[in-house]
């Protein structure tokens, strides 16, 4: 098993960060680590929701939402032969705004190996995501759903 995690403080309310974080189909607008995220179903983003994520330098990955606490966190899972990846996104309020934590856990027989092979790019992509989430959430010009 291999785990990667990054935490960033954001000068915006947790509700706003959650709006940006949970609007997964728009991630490509604020992080270069994502080319696209396509919902494979319709309706609210809820347990069972499925997406396909396309990232530079990685094959497409199919993810399924396995847990959600609206306004606070979600967890999704992507499986491949020999390992699975558990992604967790969380936001919590702080006195000065909010704090977001993004993590990936690679599990299974090949999880540790894949984690070592992709460590640099995984850490870089998590940093891009955290930076983009912070910038989009703090941007007063951005309007959710707009």
Contacts of 51 (CB under 8 A, 6+ apart): 24, 25, 37, 38, 39, 40, 62, 63, 76
Q: Is residue 48 part of a domain?
A: yes
| Per-residue model confidence (pLDDT) at position 146 | 47
Per the structure, the count of domains in the chain is 1
- Distance between CA atoms of residues 16 and 20, nearest Å: 6
Q: Is residue 145 part of a domain?
A: no
Task: Confirm whether pTM is higher than 0.85.
Answer: yes
Q: Is residue 144 part of a domain?
A: no
| Per-residue model confidence (pLDDT) at position 110 | 87
Tokens of 119: 């460590």
- Distance between CA atoms of residues 94 and 96, nearest Å: 5
Q: Is residue 80 part of a domain?
A: yes
Q: Is residue 81 part of a domain?
A: yes
Give the pLDDT confidence of 72-114 residue by residue, as tens digits.
999 999 998 899 999 999 999 999 999 999 999 999 988 888 8
| Per-residue model confidence (pLDDT) at position 29 | 96
* Domain that residue 97 falls in: 2-137
Give the pLDDT confidence of 53-81 residue by residue, as tens digits.
999 999 999 999 999 999 999 999 999 88
> Tell me, what CATH number does 37's domain have?
3.30.530.20
């Amino acid at each position: 098993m291999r785990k990667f995690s990054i935490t960033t403080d954001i000068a915006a309310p947790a509700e706003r960060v959650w709006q940006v974080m949970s609007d997964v189909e728009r991630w490509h607008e604020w992080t270069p680590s994502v080319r696209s995220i396509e919902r494979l179903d319709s309706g609210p983003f809820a347990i069972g929701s499925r997406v396909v994520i396309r990232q530079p330098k990685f094959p497409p990955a199919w993810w399924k939402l396995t847990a959600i606490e609206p306004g606070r966190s979600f967890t999704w899972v992507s499986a491949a032969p020999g390992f699975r990846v558990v992604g967790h996104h969380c936001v919590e309020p702080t006195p000065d705004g909010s704090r977001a934590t993004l993590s990936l856990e690679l599990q299974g027989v090949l999880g540790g190996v894949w984690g070592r092979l992709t460590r640099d790019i995984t850490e870089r992509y998590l940093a891009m995501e955290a930076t983009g989430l912070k910038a989009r959430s703090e941007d007063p010009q951005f309007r959710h759903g707009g």
